């Protein structure tokens, strides 16, 4: 950035994108249809579709004007390295993680396999895109603008916000796991220079998370 004015404008733009994301979530949560969507296990599919359809076009609009948060390139060597780190992190978390009741309530069983499939598509294919755009994209960038030399501090603040925004989870172990995951994704974004690598890792993480439920639904 050339001057302080440009930094302020760019920061406000990034934070404005985060505010749009939060407003979408808040709008749905305060709507009359929220209890019905929650009880039917369709909250995540509907919410993720709304956020994906709004935030991805806004990000593409942003990239045509700024080069600060590019998609970058997905290199095989980096995907292998960070994929192994992610698997190691998941293996470590398996020692202390507890089942979240919210996740279980949103997954169907037996004849409700369509609900499980819709939930899985939402969290594996849609959520990683807009969550990376918001957290490892706009939020992290708004911090790095002012403290480019304090990359770990910026990543930690981003990760704390990432965990705090997942209000559906109640166990402290889950919040710790979210912070650890976000730190890895922040590092992936800074190391690769773009969002493709953290998006791919986020998809892999979520896919592994819903795989058991998908398998059980398929068996029934």
Q: What are the boundaries of each domain within the chain? A: 4-219
Tokens 């806004």: give the residue. Answer: 58
In terms of average pLDDT, the best of 66-70, 94-98, 152-156, 170-174 is 152-156
Question: Taking residues 9-25, what's their average pLDDT?
Answer: 95
CB 13 within 8 A of CB 1: no
Q: At residue 157, does pLDDT exceed 60?
A: yes
Instruction: Please give the pLDDT value at position 161.
Output: 97
Of 20-29, 32-41, 46-55, 178-187, least confident by mean pLDDT is: 32-41
Confidence of residue 2 (pLDDT cuts 50, 70, 90): low
Reading the block at residue 2, the tokens are 């050339």
Of 23-32, 74-83, 109-118, 183-192, least confident by mean pLDDT is: 109-118
Q: How far apart are CA 202 and CA 139, in angstroms?
A: 17
Residues 6+ apart with CB under 8 A from 127: 44, 48, 51, 52, 202, 206
Residue of 99 and 55 predicted with greater confidence: 55
Buried b (16+ CB within 10 A) or exposed e, 12-23: ebbeebbeebee
Note every long-range contact of 84-91, with CB atoms under 8 Å and residues 24 or more positions apart, other chains counting.
Answer: 85/184, 86/181, 86/184, 86/201, 86/204, 86/205, 89/180, 89/181, 89/184, 90/205, 90/208
Query: Chain-wide mean pLDDT for the chain?
Result: 91
Residues 6+ apart with CB under 8 A from 27: none
Digit-coded pLDDT (tens) for 69-117: 999 999 999 999 999 999 999 999 888 888 887 777 777 554 477 788 8
Instruction: Please give the pLDDT value at position 109.
Output: 53
Give the chain's radius of gyration (CA, Å).
18
Reading the block at residue 92, the tokens are 């470590």
Question: Taking residues 177-186, what's their average pLDDT?
Answer: 97
Q: At residue 220, does pLDDT exceed 70?
A: no
Instruction: Please give the pLDDT value at position 108.
Output: 58
Q: How far apart are CA 137 and CA 6, in angstroms?
A: 18
């Amino acid at each position: 950035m050339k001057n302080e004015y440009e930094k302020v404008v760019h920061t406000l733009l990034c934070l404005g994108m985060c505010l749009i994301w939060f407003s979408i979530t808040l709008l749905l949560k305060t709507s009359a249809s929220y209890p019905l969507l929650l009880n039917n296990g369709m909250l995540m599919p509907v919410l993720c579709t709304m956020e994906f359809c709004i935030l991805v076009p806004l990000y593409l609009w942003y990239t045509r004007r700024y080069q600060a948060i590019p998609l970058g390139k997905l290199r095989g060597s980096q995907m292998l390295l960070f994929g192994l780190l992610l698997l190691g992190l998941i293996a470590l978390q398996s020692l202390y993680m507890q089942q979240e009741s919210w996740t279980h309530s949103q997954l169907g069983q037996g004849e409700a396999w369509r609900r499980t499939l819709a939930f899985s598509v939402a969290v594996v294919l849609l959520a990683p895109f807009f969550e990376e755009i918001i957290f490892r994209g706009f939020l992290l960038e708004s911090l790095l603008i002012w403290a480019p030399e304090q990359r770990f501090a910026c990543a930690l603040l981003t990760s704390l916000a990432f965990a705090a925004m997942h209000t559906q989870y109640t166990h402290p172990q889950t919040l710790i796991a979210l912070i650890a995951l976000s730190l890895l994704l922040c590092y992936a974004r800074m190391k690769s220079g773009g969002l493709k690598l953290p998006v791919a890792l986020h998809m892999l993480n979520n896919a592994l998370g819903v795989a058991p439920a998908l398998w059980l639904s398929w068996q029934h």
